[in-house]
Amino acid sequence: QVQLVESGGGLVQPGGSLRLSCAASGRTFRSDAMGWFRQAPGKEREFVARITLSRGTTYYTDSAKGRFTISRDNAKNTVYLQMNSLKPEDTAIYYCAADNLYSSSSIYSPEKYDNWGQGTQVTVSS
């Protein structure tokens, strides 16, 4: 069983930055892509960013483009989400997840992913 553990969340003022980490451990990690999602209170879980582990190809939701950067360190089995210019509307629990190779769902859908982490809270407030 693959385990994903997120870290790096916290309270930050508007305009500030945070760097989230997602470390994978357990049996051989076979996924070729990782994603970051977030879920605010009363809202559905939404796609934030995705990266392929082989080529490093990235995808972002429109609200993250230009502010967030997803990256990976394959040697450490870790994926990062650098978040700059944070806004109050970025407040949410952030989750990382591993792509399910056998799912035909859209890469922007949570259904495309399995092996979710427990989440890390990000709060943007003055």
3-state secondary structure 45-65: CEEEEEEECCCCCEEECCCCC
Please give the Cα distance from 2 to 116 (Å, whole number). 9
pLDDT bin (cut points 50, 70, 90) of residue 31 is confident
**What mean pLDDT is predicted for residues 49-56?**
94
Please give the Cα distance from 102 to 85 (Å, whole number). 36
Mean pLDDT of the chain: 94
Least confident segment among 21-30, 69-78, 80-89: 21-30
Place of tokens 């859908």: 109
Q: What is the pLDDT of residue 26?
A: 76
Indicate whether 30 pLDDT > 80. Answer: no
